[in-house]
Structure 1
Amino acid sequence: MESIKHFIAANGHQVQLWVFILLFIFIWNVENLAGVLFNYKKWKHAFSNAPFIVTSIPGQLLLGLAFIKTIEWTTQHQFGILYLLPKNTNPVWVFIASFILLDLGEYGYHVVMHKVKRLWMFHAVHHSDNVVDVSTTLREHPGENIVRMSFTLLWVFITGTAFWMLMLRQIIQAITTLFAHMNYRFSDSADKLISLLFITPNLHQVHHHYKQPYTDCNYGDVLSIWDRMFGTLKRLPAEQLVFGVDTYMDKNETRNFYSLVKLPFGKYRKIKADEENTTSTILK
């Protein structure tokens, strides 16, 4: 176990990068063979999302050092929720506890991004994509990238998560995020089984539906248990799904990188509720 911890701590970023690249290519080809959407120009769509890779770099570099310093401090001072566990606790169980706590933090962050108007304007850049496929994972405003990492940094500080745990969590998160956004759907029976624990493409596609209350559902990052616990899990038949945000449906606006970068600094636009399907699909 110690060798795994040291390897992840030393090589976590490289492993995460290669996992993301190889899985991205794999899912891209799965979408070509078994995707549910084919009536769009896939390469053009990907290239409209790709520039966000570059804009995320400054935030990653800026906060990367902050993560290292924060974890060094929590380790030195034995600070955080995880340090309340008995010292002889198996590292595997400590990691599982850390994973669950960080996943809860991601759920909370996601809810905040939807509920605070100005933060929603940043997050709306991701939601405004009118096609959801693997390249949608790249579509994150640089401002949101900094906010998201800052939330994670705060949660790492509160929990006392070790560096190797954070790296391993991010590797798993990269895998599940790519799968959640893929242009693919499980069968209803398979989805109901898998989604008992995990966020699936079926669930996350509902989150990307263009109207309320579906935009504000299925917030889970890796685990679906938080949506079940807090009553935010919803389903919608595939044939009723329309991707995007009803207040940003102009394709000239949602496919132009420069328009998307400026979007959070414009006037707030309120999302309208889809009253026709509100009550029937809320999971109780």
Structure 2
Amino acid sequence: MNHDVFIRIGVFAGVFAALAALEVLAPRRDAALPRVERWPGATAIFVAGAALGRLVLPAGLAGIALFADQIGFGLFNLISAPVWLVGLAAFVLLDLSVWGQHVLMHRVPILWRMHRVHHSDPHIDVMTALRFHPAEILVSLVWKGAVVFLFGIPAWAAFFFEVALNAFAQFNHANWHISPAVDRVLRWLVVTPDMHRVHHSVERREANRNFGFCLSVWDRMFRVYKDQPDAGHRDMLIGQHDWRSSGDQTPAELLVQPLKTPPS
């Protein structure tokens, strides 16, 4: 784990650059606002959230995992199983926990106010994957940290999941046109951009569907899966009915948005 920062940054930067390029070469939708009006604010709160997370948990989830291992706490520290099975079980468990957290962010009013910053983006692209309020980042860290500790998930598995989750989030937010035939096959296992885009609809009946980030099975299992948006991917309205102007995308406005009540 000595080089964890370099691995995180390397994977993040590589995935981000590749998807940003694909969005230019093969975009799925036209942007409601140009990047120059959306990306600076999202970048600012992403940096603030990353700094807060590093301050609260310098070693990330792996640090919590190492502590649980030292005191012999948690299910995985009490059983003996093949490494591949432990890794697979840990990934599935953490992915389910993130899915459950995401549902709560929509269901609990105070949590929705934080999460609404993510959904108030009037367009969806790779940068939207990073657009989370710092308060939500903190809530997410506590939630995932509790799961890692209670189940004694190994440090290497927790680290791998963090890196994979970041990459998957960028992938399924990307404004990238993927062949419908390829999309149909992929979404049986993972969340695709077309699948997740439904979740960013202004229509609540659609925004409360397709909560997954990595594995697509949970939405089908818990019957909140929606195949396509009613208006189609090119015509659907993304985001919220409010906070759609360029002035709503500044760092200051994004930071204080959870304190505001929607005008409409």
Q: Which TM-score applies when normalising by structure 1?
A: 0.85
Aligned partner (choices 66, 73, 77) of residue 67 of structure 2: 73
Task: Give the structure 2 partner of residue 243 of structure 1.
Answer: 238
User: Following the alignment from structure 1 to structure 2, what is the Cα–Cα distance between the partners of residues 133 and 67?
Assistant: 27
Aligned partner (choices 184, 190, 195) of residue 198 of structure 1: 190
Aligned partner (choices 33, 37, 43) of residue 36 of structure 2: 43
Equivalent runs, 1:243-282 vs 2, <5 Å: 243-246=238-241, 248-252=242-246, 254-267=248-261
**Larger RCO: 1 or 2 (CA < 8 Å, sep 6+):** 2
Letter in 1 for 2:254: L
User: Following the alignment from structure 2 to structure 1, what is the Cα–Cα distance between the partners of residues 193 and 179?
Assistant: 11
User: What's the secondary structure of 2:209's corresponding residue?
Assistant: coil
Contact persistence 1:204–1:218 (CA under 8 A): yes
Contact persistence 2:65–2:149 (CA under 8 A): yes
Deviations 1:33-92 (A, max 9, x none): 10123444223322231111321112332133574653233213332232454x1x2211
Task: Give the structure 1 partner of residue 161 of structure 2.
Answer: 169
Give the CA RMSD over aligned residues. Answer: 2.0
Aligned partner (choices 215, 218, 229) of residue 210 of structure 2: 218
Contact persistence 1:117–1:268 (CA under 8 A): no
Contact persistence 2:62–2:154 (CA under 8 A): no
Task: Give the structure 2 partner of residue 64 of structure 1.
Answer: 58
In the TM superposition, residue 268 of structure 1 has moved relative to its aligned partner by 6.7
Q: Of the two, which has the highest radius of gyration?
A: 1
Q: Which consecutive unaligned segments of at least 5 residues does structure 1 have? A: 1-8, 271-284
Task: Give the structure 2 partner of residue 230 of structure 1.
Answer: 222
Aligned partner (choices 136, 149, 174) of residue 144 of structure 1: 136
Task: Give the structure 2 partner of residue 275 of structure 1.
Answer: none
In the TM superposition, residue 19 of structure 1 has moved relative to its aligned partner by 0.8
Contact persistence 2:201–2:238 (CA under 8 A): yes
| Number of residue pairs the alignment of both structures matches | 259
Equivalent runs, 1:92-171 vs 2, <5 Å: 92-171=84-163
Q: Which TM-score applies when normalising by structure 2?
A: 0.91
Aligned partner (choices 199, 203, 213) of residue 207 of structure 1: 199
Contact persistence 1:12–1:164 (CA under 8 A): no
Letter in 1 for 2:84: V
- Please say which of residues 22-31 and 36-45 is displaced more in the overlay: 36-45
User: Following the alignment from structure 1 to structure 2, what is the Cα–Cα distance between the partners of residues 63 and 263?
Assistant: 25
Task: Give the structure 2 partner of residue 52 of structure 1.
Answer: 45
Specify whether residues 114 and 79 from structure 1 end up closer, same or farther in structure 2 by C-alpha distance, changes over 3 A only: same
Letter in 2 for 1:75: D
Identical counterparts, % of pairs: 28
In the TM superposition, residue 199 of structure 1 has moved relative to its aligned partner by 0.5
Q: Which consecutive unaligned segments of at least 5 residues does structure 2 have? A: none
User: Following the alignment from structure 2 to structure 1, what is the Cα–Cα distance between the partners of residues 187 and 30?
Assistant: 25
Specify whether residues 252 and 35 from structure 1 end up closer, same or farther in structure 2 by C-alpha distance, changes over 3 A only: closer
